[in-house]
A and B are shown apart, each in its own frame.
Chain A
Amino acid sequence: GNSVTQMEGPVTLSEEAFLTINCTYTATGYPSLFWYVQYPGEGLQLLLKATKADDKGSNKGFEATYRKETTSFHLEKGSVQVSDSAVYFCALGDSSYKLIFGSGTRLLVRP
């Protein structure tokens, strides 16, 4: 069945460091791919998405490219801030309109 695998956290970085959170997926067909972010005490928010191979989603300095050949959708940011501390979820949208989430990666950015 369809599934998403993300790197385990927590990921701890200093402010202005480069961020990569790995995400790979298993799916039949051509899923859409998403990154959601969950700040403490809040619900999930869509961060970015890509709907087909080679698409790049971007928002708030974060980027991810849909790589069909490696079935990956890694999240990157060139310079993280303390305010980026949150839990990040990779997800895929399958043909039945269902979102399937990874287990989440906690990011902690220190000043």
Chain B
Amino acid sequence: EAEVAQSPRYKITEKSQAVAFWCDPISGHATLYWYRQILGQGPELLVQFQDESVVDDSQLPKDRFSAERLKGVDSTLKIQPAELGDSAMYLCASSYGQGTYNEQFFGPGTRLTVL
């Protein structure tokens, strides 16, 4: 069964360092999402791609976060510099297309701890 792959699964870093997370969506899925899930809360959308284009990045803290999906396949989310408040689970999801009738499939997430 096809799955969304994410790496690393766990990342510990010190504040002010740079971190990067990678996501490989299910083959053929044009829409890719990055979510942040703070402990005890639900996921919050950071950025949404349709192929290689950003559709929604209204909740992405653009002073320190960046995301790219250069060839419309896999994607990288970067934080530079990391802050203590960035400690969270970062989830990637993909769907065949846009619209909430298209089921989003989630990866296992990357748990980030900033010390």
Chain A interface residues (CB < 8 Å from chain B): 4, 31-32, 34, 36, 41-46, 51, 89, 91, 93-94, 96-99, 101-104
Contacts and interface: CB of A to CB of B under 8 A. Distances in A.
B103 A46 contact: yes
Nearest to B38: A103
B106 A96 contact: no
Contact of A44 (B41, B43, B98): B43
Contacts of B109: 43
A85 to B, nearest CB: 17
Interface residues of B, number: 22
Interface centre among A31, A34, A93, A99 (most CB of B within 10 A): A99
25 contacts: A4-B42, A31-B100, A32-B100, A32-B101, A42-B108, A43-B106, A43-B107, A43-B109, A44-B91, A44-B93, A46-B103, A46-B104, A89-B43, A91-B42, A94-B100, A97-B55, A97-B99, A98-B45, A99-B45, A99-B100, A99-B104, A101-B42, A103-B40, A103-B41, A104-B40
Nearest to A94: B100
B108 A97 contact: no
